[in-house]
Amino acid sequence: MRYSPTLVDHFLNPRNAGMMREPDGTGESEYAGCGDLARFFLRVRYGRAVEVRFQTYGCGPTIAAASVASELGRGRTVDDLSRLTSGDVEEALEGLPEDRKHAADVAAGALRAAAHDWLSRRR
C-alpha cells in the first residue's frame, strides 16, 4: 500500500483545520517544487500550545501531514515545537513515499515557524 491508514484518515478527516482569530503565533512554509503550502496558528498559555490550527494547500499527504502535526503540537511547549522535525511528522503518519516526503517538511517547517513567531514576540 502506498499510504498508511493513518495518513489516509488524516487526509479524509483533517483535524484542527481552519483559521484562528488573534493567534499568539503564526508561521508558514512551502515547497517550491509543487507549490504545497501550510500555515499554522498557535494559541499559547503558560508556554504551551493549547490550540493548534492550520490551513494548507497541496497534495493529500501535505494535508495529512499538517493535520497530524496539529495534533502533535497541542499540549507541547513552544520550545519543543520550535525543534519539531519532519521525521517526527513522518513517523506520526507511519511513513511517506519518497516522492511525498516534502509533505512532512512543509508541515514541520510551518509549525516551527509559528513557534519561532511566538518566541520572538515574547522577547
**Which one-letter DSSP state was computed for residue 97?**
-
For 6-29, write each residue's pLDDT tens digit: 999 999 999 999 999 999 999 999
pTM exceeding 0.75: yes
What's the rounded mean pLDDT across residues 84-93?
97
Task: Tell me which residue of 80, 84, 79, 100 sits closest to 11, measured CA to CA.
Answer: 100
Query: How would CATH label the architecture of 5-122?
Result: Alpha-Beta Complex (3.90)
For 54-63, write each residue's pLDDT tens digit: 999 999 999 9
How far, CA to CA in Å, does 78 sit from each of 10, 17, 23?
A: 23, 20, 14
Range name among 30-34, 69-73, 105-109, 112-116 with the lowest pLDDT average: 30-34
Question: Can you spell out the DSSP letters for 7-33?
Answer: HHHHHHS-SSBS--SS-SEEEEEEETT
